[in-house]
A and B are shown apart, each in its own frame.
Chain A
Amino acid sequence: MEDVLLEQFLKGDPLLIRQLRPIILDFVTRTGGNSDDAREVFQIVSLSLFERAKRTPAQYISKAFKVWLNKHRRDPDYVSEQTDQLEADLEAAFAPFSGLLTALRKEDEAATDWFNRTGGSVLLPFVKAGNGDVTAAGDILAAALKKCRRVIRDFKDYFLKSCKNEWLRLKKKRGMISPEEYITHLETEDDTEADLHELPNLILNLFHKASNACRKLLHPLLFEGKTKDELLGILGYKNPGSFDVAKSRCLSALREELKQHPYFKPADV
């Protein structure tokens, strides 16, 4: 059974965050970072955990496939399209087996066999399209199964170790890491997987810092599920065209700000 603290954390329990914060802050600031770095580390690890908590077996496989594909291809669009397609196909294939994840976590043999056979038959063509073979597909499935079965029994320990890894990953990326720090690296999650959460985290941080006008426009549209027609009335736009222009302006500003961010200018390591 997973640590009950994980559930609390996923609900955003401020008391738990209050306890984790000084430890993360202390570690990051002691090892060459500042409070913003500590915040970023905390956010990325949190997003990673949040995403993991909702993950289905199909997503575990597509995520492992994405990691594999990222190592072999540079075209993000190709990676994105293939991963999305694979995930959709796997979801359809796994649909008849409800409770598959629970069964896998209990190490049920029949469920494991079904996962391997069904998942393998869907995955293999995608791996071959990416210049891989049966062995690569087997490795991806095995990696996904291992992650499906991972249970967090000590949330705090897991979270702090993940933060340590994430900070080392960020330092490595920024060319700040010293050779002896490689030795202390703790294996909890793949670095490549953590990397997938860095950009969304950056987007969300920039979005929260956007101008009031943009937040007023984008927030109800994206998060509150308001329709464009509803917003035209609420925000006082006389015609849909000017609303579109305002929205595009906000998204353009966000995109340009992103492109200027050091994330897109990684240090040469």
Chain B
Amino acid sequence: MTEEQKTLLIERYLKGELPDAERQEVERMAENDAQFAEDVSLMRVVLNTLEDRDLVQFHRDITAAWDAEDDDEKEEPELETPVAPDTSPVGWSRRRWLLAATLLITIAVLGLWQYYRLQQPSPIVNKPETSEKQEQTREILIPPRQGEAPAPPTRPQAQNPQSKPQPNRQYIAMAKTHYGYAPDFANIRKTGANAPPDSLTPLQRAERAFADKQYDKVIQLLAQPDAKVRESSLYLRGHAHFNAGHYEAAARDFRSVAEMKGFSLDNATWYMLLSDLAIYGLADANVQTQLKSILADPGHPKNEAAKKLQEEIKH
């Protein structure tokens, strides 16, 4: 029997098209020949899958959408910035116009901001501030979705630089204690451990620098994170800021990561809490809110750590 004949026989068997005698013969063959039984089993899954039209259609649609991104990356690398899901029934062409308009507005806003910044006497040049501005712009351009979980608590920005809290060694020590060891980014480094630095992406180089405790270098490398790895970059940069003692910048980065609601959401909320703790201390209402939020979520990976922190507050 050729492969084609065998397939035809199995197909007819599975569809119940065989007369009794042939059906029994197929069953006997399946009992005596493990290879044949495997072919029958596999053909059953193949036919069940391919005959489900809705499933095939859905698979084709989502795969095409996924693969289309590959094409877009090759053709339009400048359109890489991830955008929030749009729930309105807007067509593709209109969305592109909206995106273009948004980009123009962003450029104009940043241009004006830059202009006014240069007009002001001796401003403090602070890279993370740029990041904050971008985040604010992003917030304006991308309002939260309907029904979306509330964003992590925000802290009103101090209007007067003099009202900024002074560093408190006790708070910092407490935050550092609960921070523990810096997260190990070994999984990432593993892939490029032997690769020459020139062949690595800025994120990979930053991961190496982080492992070597060169936190300023990490911050420098990730000053303008690539949109494709924005979440990972901000998360890593947040840790670099924390370890370098820049707690406000760390809090900003972790907050941005938390707002993305990606894979690092839970960890980011915890480290944002620790960064705020280092700056504002335990009595701060926002710190308390963040702590309560983690304590209220038993599935949060830092729930136990939050309980320990709460115990410390009680004492």
Contact = CB atoms under 8 A, between A and B. Distances in A.
B187 A248 contact: no
Nearest to B301: A184
A31 B263 CA distance: 12
Contact of A19 (B67, B82, B263, B299): B82
Interface in B194-237: 227-232
B263 A27 contact: yes
A251 to B, nearest CB: 5
Contacts of B87: 4-5, 8
Interface residues of B, number: 69
B104 interface: no
A217 to B, nearest CB: 12
B232 A30 contact: yes
A126 interface: no
Interface string A7-39: 010101111111101110111001110000001
Contacts of B84: 19
Contact of A204 (B49, B147, B301): B49
Contacts of B82: 18-19, 22-23
B69 A26 contact: no
A204 B59 contact: yes
Given A17-B66, A26-B232, A255-B42, A157 B261 contact: yes
Given A244-B8, A245-B4, A12 B61 contact: yes
B65 interface: yes
A21 B146 contact: no
A18 B65 contact: yes
Interface stretch (A40-48, A98-106, A115-123, A140-148): A40-48
Interface in A185-207: 186-187, 199-201, 203-205, 207
Contacts of A111: none
Nearest to A10: B58
A222 interface: yes
Interface stretch (B33-41, B129-137, B287-295): B33-41
A15 B83 contact: yes
Interface in A239-269: 244-245, 247-249, 251-252, 254-256, 258-259
A251 B46 contact: yes
B314 interface: no
Interface centre among A14, A25, A32, A259 (most CB of B within 10 A): A14
Contacts of A172: none
B83 A19 contact: yes
A76 B227 CA distance: 45
B46 A254 contact: yes
A169 to B, nearest CB: 16
Contact of A156 (B6, B55, B146, B261): B261
B147 A4 contact: yes
Interface of B is mostly: helix
B53 A252 contact: no
A3 interface: yes
B273 interface: no
B118 interface: no
A109 interface: no
B66 A42 contact: yes
Interface string B1-22: 0011111100100000000000
Contacts, number: 173
A17 B56 contact: no
Contacts of A42: 62, 66
Contact of A15 (B5, B43, B51, B86): B86
Contacts of A200: 45, 48-49, 55
Contacts of A205: 63
B160 interface: no
Given A19-B84, A23-B262, A46 B58 contact: yes
B301 to A, nearest CB: 7
B265 interface: yes
A208 interface: yes
A234 to B, nearest CB: 18
A77 B59 contact: no
B100 interface: no
Contact of A47 (B8, B55, B95): B55
Nearest to B72: A18
Contact of B95 (A15, A16, A245): A15
Given A3-B147, A43-B59, A255-B43, A30 B4 contact: no
24 contacts: A4-B147, A5-B145, A12-B58, A12-B62, A13-B85, A15-B83, A15-B85, A15-B86, A26-B231, A27-B262, A30-B187, A30-B232, A39-B63, A46-B59, A50-B55, A156-B261, A157-B265, A160-B263, A204-B50, A204-B60, A208-B63, A244-B8, A248-B11, A254-B46
Interface of A: 1, 3-5, 8, 10, 12-19, 21-23, 25-27, 30-32, 39, 42-43, 46-47, 50-51, 54, 76-77, 80, 153-154, 156-157, 160, 164, 178, 184, 186-187, 199-201, 203-205, 207-208, 218, 222-223, 225, 244-245, 247-249, 251-252, 254-256, 258-259
6 A-B pairs closest in CB distance: A12-B61, A14-B65, A248-B4, A17-B65, A248-B7, A200-B49
